Structure formats: structure tokens, C-alpha cells
């Protein structure tokens, strides 16, 4: 099998290498595939270019200066406000008076400045008025505080006056005798000590709230309570107070041994020792015992007191919040 050469192919297809047909004069190039004339576009008008710098007005001179202010008027207003706030404060009111004078001076200077520069007239007047008011307030407060000061107290030496020699009696020309200074009359009168009423004695009924108490007696010097197996010893000594407590109220009331206190001769109070009271026996109602109206109990309250500080009275209470009543213990 034989293949044609390149030259043979060209010979077989001469039309593929033929030049395009000529275009008619004036027709112009056609649109490929249509054979018609090519479209034409309208020409655009040219924009005239503006010269450089057009649209900006040329500068006519330097920029205008800002209007001048009135610093004296502003300063007068500020100082006047400070002076007004301080004019009624003690001690500082003196400083407020000085500031008021400064505010008045600055206000006057501000008014003079406002005549030259049409600004700050109202501010200067306000500062001047505040200075005047603050100055007046400073003067009034100073006078008021001075009037409130305590008057000077003159102390008299009592020792010197006590040793002054009394003047003798003077006899007048008509024979009358004028008494002189009497040393006894110048002596102060003795002050009577208040009389303390005697406390109810042992066996006298006393009442506090719904309870009526009768002190039966007190036993001191007890150094041990309990039995051979269970006992309690005091820090100092035990003083055991025997009481009879009767409910005289209309409702049940509970007796607490811890609400009772004993007092020694120096006024020191001793509280009850509830733990030691438990060792007195089951039949002793010394700790907590409710009592119905009309009923009575016989508690024995134990107090642990110093060996040299035996109590002389007892303060009895029907509750922890009652006023209490005192009774003698001997």
C-alpha cells in the first residue's frame, strides 16, 4: 500500500491554498460568515480640558484671628464659687474671706476687660456677686463662731481661801457690833450619805414575778458533795442556800437554780454550781423543777465561792429575764 506525498495532497486539493476573492471597492471588509458590511460606531465628542488650578479662588490674605477671651472673668467665677463653699466652714471661713476679696478684684478686672473685648461680661458680674456674698458669709460666720466660744472660767484656789484670816468684829461709832467673817459659816455643809434600806431577813417572804421565795438559811465551808463513789469538790468552798419557792401566779412556772445569784460584801456576784447541785441527791430540787400555781418546792442551791468571800445576800429570780429581788443570808 502506498501513501500520497505532501505534494500529492496539495495537488489533490488546490482550493485549500487559493487566495481569498477581492473585495469590491468602497464596500469595506465584511462580517465573517455574513458577507455584509462591517458596523460603524459614531465618533464621540472630545471633552475640553480645564486649565490647572481652575475652581479654586486665590487666597486674599492671612487667616482671621480667633476672638480674644476674658480670663479674668472666668477666674473670678471659679474663685467666687470656692469662696462661697468655704465661707460657712469653721476656721476655713477666714480663708474664704480672702478668696472673696480675690474674686471681687478679678470680677472688676473682668468687667474692664469686657469693655475692650465684647466677651465675659456676664461671667465677670457673676464672679463679682459670688465674691460679695462669700465675703459677707465669712464675716457673719466668724462673728457667730466667736459668740459660741465658752466664757473664760476663773479658778479659785480653795487652799488659799481656806487659810485666809477671818476679819474681826467691827464696832461702829454708835456702839453697834458688826460681825466679821465666821470661819464656821464658810465651811461646806456635810453631805449625808444615802441610807441603804435593810434587806429582808432570813425567813421573810419576798416575791419576784410569779414566785414567792423564803430563805431558810445558808451553810458554808462544805468541801465535798456526793457519796463515796460519785462526788464533786469546790474550787474554794461550797455555800448551800436552802429556799422555799411557791408559785403565786396563775400558770405553771419552772424554777432554775442557775437563775439565782449570791453577792458578797464587796458586791461581787457568784453564780450557782448546777453540777454540784446534782450530787446533793435525787430528792433535792435544785436544778430544774416546774411548779404549778399554789405548789411549793424546797430547793437547795449550791454556790462555789472563795474561802474568804462568803456571800451576805442572795438575788432571787423567777426567770432569767426578771428584775430579781434581794434577801439577806444571815
Residues 90-97 have a mean pLDDT of 78
d(CA 109, CA 100): 14
**Are the C-beta atoms of 318 and 302 separated by less than 8 Å?**
no
Global pTM reads 0.42
Of the pLDDT bands very low, low, confident and very high (cuts 50, 70, 90), residue 194 is low
Q: Is the pLDDT of residue 179 over 90?
A: no
Predicted confidence at residue 221, as pLDDT, reads 92
What's the pLDDT tens digit per position in 102-126? 888 888 887 887 777 777 788 878 8
What's the pLDDT tens digit per position in 80-89? 898 888 877 8
Domains and CATH numbers, the chain: 71-145 (no CATH), 206-328 (2.60.40.1240)
Residues 42-54 have a mean pLDDT of 57
Predicted confidence at residue 10, as pLDDT, reads 46
Residue 180 main-chain phi, psi, to 5 deg: -90, -160
Cα-based torsion angle of the residue sequence 286, 287, 289, 294 in order, rounded to the nearest 10 degrees: 40
d(CA 303, CA 203): 20
Does 20 or 260 have the greater pLDDT score? 260
Beta-sheet strands, E only, within 139-297: 170-171, 177-178, 206-208, 211-222, 225-226, 231-232, 237-247, 253-256, 261-263, 269-271, 288-291, 296-297
Predicted confidence at residue 95, as pLDDT, reads 84
Q: Lowest-confidence range among 59-63, 170-174, 236-240, 241-245?
A: 170-174
What's the pLDDT tens digit per position in 217-235? 999 999 999 888 888 999 9
Amino acid at each position: 500500500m502506498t501513501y500520497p506525498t505532501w505534494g500529492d495532497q496539495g495537488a489533490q486539493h488546490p482550493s485549500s491554498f487559493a487566495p481569498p476573492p477581492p473585495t469590491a471597492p468602497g464596500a469595506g471588509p465584511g462580517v465573517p460568515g455574513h458577507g455584509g458590511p462591517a458596523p460603524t460606531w459614531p465618533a464621540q465628542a472630545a471633552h475640553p480640558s480645564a486649565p490647572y488650578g481652575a475652581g479654586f479662588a486665590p487666597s486674599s490674605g492671612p487667616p482671621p484671628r480667633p476672638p480674644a477671651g476674658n480670663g479674668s472673668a472666668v477666674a473670678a467665677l471659679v474663685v467666687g464659687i470656692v469662696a462661697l463653699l468655704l465661707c460657712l466652714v469653721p476656721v476655713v471661713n477666714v480663708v474664704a474671706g480672702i478668696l472673696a476679696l480675690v474674686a471681687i478684684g478679678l470680677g472688676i478686672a473682668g468687667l474692664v476687660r469686657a469693655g475692650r473685648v465684647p466677651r465675659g461680661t456676664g461671667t465677670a458680674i457673676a464672679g463679682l456677686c459670688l465674691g460679695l456674698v462669700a465675703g459677707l458669709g465669712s464675716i457673719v460666720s466668724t462673728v457667730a463662731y466667736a459668740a459660741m466660744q465658752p466664757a473664760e472660767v476663773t479658778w479659785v484656789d480653795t487652799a488659799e481661801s481656806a487659810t485666809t484670816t477671818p476679819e474681826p468684829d467691827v464696832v461702829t461709832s454708835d456702839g453697834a457690833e458688826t460681825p466679821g467673817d465666821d470661819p464656821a459659816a464658810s465651811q461646806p455643809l456635810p453631805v449625808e450619805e444615802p441610807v441603804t434600806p435593810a434587806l429582808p431577813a432570813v425567813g421573810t417572804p419576798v416575791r419576784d414575778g410569779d414566785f414567792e421565795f423564803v430563805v431558810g438559811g445558808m451553810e458554808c465551808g462544805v468541801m465535798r458533795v456526793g457519796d463515796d463513789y460519785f462526788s464533786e469538790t469546790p474550787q474554794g468552798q461550797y455555800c448551800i442556800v436552802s429556799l422555799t419557792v411557791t408559785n403565786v401566779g396563775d400558770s405553771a412556772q419552772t424554777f432554775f437554780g442557775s437563775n439565782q445569784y449570791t453577792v458578797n460584801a464587796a458586791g461581787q456576784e457568784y453564780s450557782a454550781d448546777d453540777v454540784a447541785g446534782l450530787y446533793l441527791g435525787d430528792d433535792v430540787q435544785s436544778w430544774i423543777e416546774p411548779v404549778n400555781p399554789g405548789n411549793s418546792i424546797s430547793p437547795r442551791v449550791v454556790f462555789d465561792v472563795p474561802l474568804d468571800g462568803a456571800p451576805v445576800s442572795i438575788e432571787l429570780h423567777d426567770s432569767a429575764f426578771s428584775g430579781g429581788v434581794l434577801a439577806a443570808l444571815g
